[in-house]
Each structure stands twice: as structure tokens, then as C-alpha cells.
Amino acid sequence: MDAGVLRKFEMAPAPKFCRKRQRLVEQFLIAVKEHNELQNAQVEGLIAGKGFSLKWEIADARERRDRAKHTILAHQQSHGCK
């Protein structure tokens, strides 16, 4: 068989729409929104003279955001969707 024909069957085309990826992206967007809201609240608190009170909450939100991002990347790598 022709080598070009064989190469054609080595990789399946990436799915056009992946429901799991869509769900992961939605979770990521929620995590980004939560992180941004906490950062905004922190800035408002600093302006109002309340100090740096949301340090740990912001750190936790950043970890959730980063974990969600890496979950999307890992899924794309293993599933081949984009």
C-alpha cells in the first residue's frame, strides 16, 4: 500500500465539538471570574484602608483557576480536540 495512504489513517481527525472540553472551559471561566472578583474586592479593601485581608482566598482561587486551565490542556492533549 502507498505510504501516503497509510499516513492518512494514522491520525484520526480532531473532533469538531467536544462536550467535555466545553464543560471544562465553562469551569475554567467560573474559576477566572471568582479569582477576578476576589482581586477586585482586595483592591477595593486596600483603597478603603482595610488592609490585605483576602490573601489566602486569592491564593486558593488562583490554584483553582490554574488547575482548571491545566485540566483543559491535559484533556486536549489526550483527546485531540481544540
Instruction: Cell numbers for 25, please give them.
Output: 472551559
- Whether residue 23 contacts residue 17, with contact meaning beta carbons closer than 8 Å, is answered with no
Q: Which residue has the higher pLDDT, 14 or 52?
A: 52
Q: Where are the domains of the chain?
A: 18-79
Q: pLDDT by residue (tens digit) across 18-47?
A: 999 999 999 999 999 999 999 999 999 999
The percentage of residues in the chain with a pLDDT greater than 70, rounded to a whole number, is 82
- Which of 34, 41, 40 has the alpha carbon at shortest distance from 60? 34
Phi (first) and psi of residue 52, to 5 degrees: -100, 80
17 Rama sector, left if φ>0, alpha if ψ -120 to 50, beta otherwise? beta
